[in-house]
Structure 1
Amino acid sequence: MSALFETLLVARDAPLAHGHVSSHARGVWLVTLNRPDCRNAMSLQMVQELRAVLADAEASGDARVIVLRGAGGHFCSGGDIKDMAAARMRPLDANAANRDPLAAVNAAFGELCVAYAGTGLALVVIAEGTVMGGGFGLACVADVVLASPTAQFRLPETSLGVVPAQVASFLVERLGYSEARRLAVTGARLGAHAALTLRLVHEVHGPAELEIALARTLDEILQCAPGALAATKRLIAKARFERPASLVAEAAAVFSNALQSPEGQEGTRAFIQKRKPSWAPK
């Protein structure tokens, strides 16, 4: 499957935990950003391939978790400067929906973040080495971020005279208004443990322990019913903007639908019979 992509390595039911294939890896898509020569800078082609692999996973019917990580000891160094320079040189197209080629490249990355933020699949990011710009944005939209002590998070845009345009809304969502402002106006550099304090990342582990933590996290996720997990993510996303009282009826309907679904019936039967449900690794 990886041969279909030039900037990514993609493995379904990936071998994890020190290379040993185990049952808990079923349904896991391991997606590796694979431009190590430039610390996995995000080209427009990589953006398009990340969108394509997400669409493939969502359409597959058996994907449950996407793990994003980077090759060569780094996660992602942000947008590819060469792509931006090429876009700057292109003439404006009066017939295009977005006539500004630079804005179009930037919007494509924003749409990528929106797609990954909105997926019903679980999303895990492994943060190692450089995590800048667009890489920072992908970390902000993940459900779980596991970090190596080598991880260095930066928002360098303002120090370069530009703006963290597409990252800004996800930064506010993840860290809150005050911290987002502080990081943006200082062009801050955060080590892994500082990022843990801010809850940008959820755990920090050394190299061997990081793989063990990933295997444990995947096992925990795969104990959850995929349909219920997706519905819960949708409800939590809506709860960010709604008062609790306004969600009572909708949440009750979501609960009722889930309980009466095949998943809900299987889950309650499994509980009563003191066994694992059908979707859980054996």
Structure 2
Amino acid sequence: MPSFHHLLIHNANEIRTITMNRPEKRNALCPLLMQEITQALDEAEDSDCRVVILTGAGPAFCAGLDMEHLSTLHATTEEEDRRDSENMANVLRTLYEFSKPVIAAVNGPAIAGGMGLAMLADFTLAVPEAKFGFTEVKLGYVPAIVASFLLRQVGEKVTRELLISGRLIRTQEAYHLGVVTQIVNAEELMQTAYACAQGLLQNSPQAMREVKRLLAMHSKRRLDEEIEDAIEVNAHQHSAEDFREGVQAFLKHRKPEWPSLHTRV
């Protein structure tokens, strides 16, 4: 098994736990972490583990894209912008099409790309205190890649409301929307995740794999097109003035002054 810089891997009884391990950054998704999650899933695909649990170290599940990394994107080339968007698309697509059951144990906030990881698991267990949301518009960014997946889970009206408002929702509301499958107290979260995994070990691995393959096949053609469009939108947005201002305002803890307010459309 490869060694990882930002992940902890634990194997027990055919259950593999993948823990995002950047607690000082609230497990924010830097390029290396996104690549490592994709690599860890690919390695688990070929291993003898039968169920994967995904969780986060520290008080957060995943805070979304690393803001310090986002602040450097305006200085990158168009090719680098595209590669950065492809990293996010790859990790979400790999999780969506992963052939074995995945349980997300959401131990704290799951924001933006972090919510994407949480909702794309087959089972999403979350503590009552967790928060979810796609806050990208508050930074002048576009949650383009997660949009296709969210649309399939909650429908167009809710997707529009969540992505355009950028508001945060609590676990109870996420549960009612079908994004969270079970609410679990923090002290019981990992125990419940392992119990869920143990139950899945009683099922036919071949039958579960075929269920997941069938569901992924239903969406594949449209996802191919939608994700390509989303990558283009994200890569283009990296050069937008509102995006640059939003990130700088966040890092400097001030209210953004959107340049697009003064631009005639």
TM-score over 0.5 for the pair: yes
**Contact 2:130/2:171, CA 8 A, preserved across alignment:** yes
Shift of residue 212 of structure 1?
Answer: 3.4
**Which residue does 2:33 correspond to in 1?**
46
Structure 1 residues 116 and 241: alpha-carbon distance in aligned structure 2, compared to 1, 3 A threshold: closer
Residue 8 of structure 1 pairs with residue 7 of structure 2: yes
Matched, 1:131 2:110: yes
Q: Distance in 2 between matches of 1:196 and 1:143?
A: 14
Q: Which residue of 1 aligns with 2:62?
A: 76
Which structure has the greater CA radius of gyration?
1
Secondary structure, counterpart of 2:8 in structure 1: strand
What one-letter code is carried by the residue in structure 1 that aligns with 2:87? A
Does the residue aligned with 1:68 lie in a helix, a strand or coil? strand
Paired residues of 1:73 and 1:128 also in contact (CA < 8 A): yes
Residue correspondences, number: 221
The answer (yes or no) to whether the contact 1:128–1:149 under 8 Å persists in 2 is no
1:142 partnered with 2:141: no
Give RMSD over aligned pairs. Answer: 1.8
TM-score by length of 2: 0.79
Query: SS in structure 2 opposite 1:211?
Result: helix
On the 8 A contact 1:128/1:152 being kept in 2, the answer is no
Unpaired stretches in structure 1, ≥5 consecutive residues: 14-25, 93-98, 243-282
Q: Percent same amino acid among aligned pairs?
A: 31
Partner Cα separation in structure 2 for residue 220 and residue 78 of structure 1: 30
Q: Choose 125-134 or 211-220, whichever is displaced more.
A: 211-220
C-alpha distance in 1 between matches for 2:72 and 2:218 = 41
2:156 is the alignment partner of 1:177 = yes
1-side partners of 2:155 and 2:219: how far apart?
12
Listed one character per residue, the Cα deviations across residues 3-45 of structure 1 (whole Å, up to 9, x for unaligned) are x1111111122xxxxxxxxxxxx11110111000110000100
TM norm structure 1: 0.74
- Which fold has the larger relative contact order, with Cα–Cα distance below 8 Å and residues 6 or more apart in sequence? 2
Alpha-carbon deviation of 1:211? Answer: 3.0
CA distance in 2, matches of 1:101, 1:241: 26
User: Which runs of 5 or more residues in structure 2 are unaligned?
Assistant: 222-265
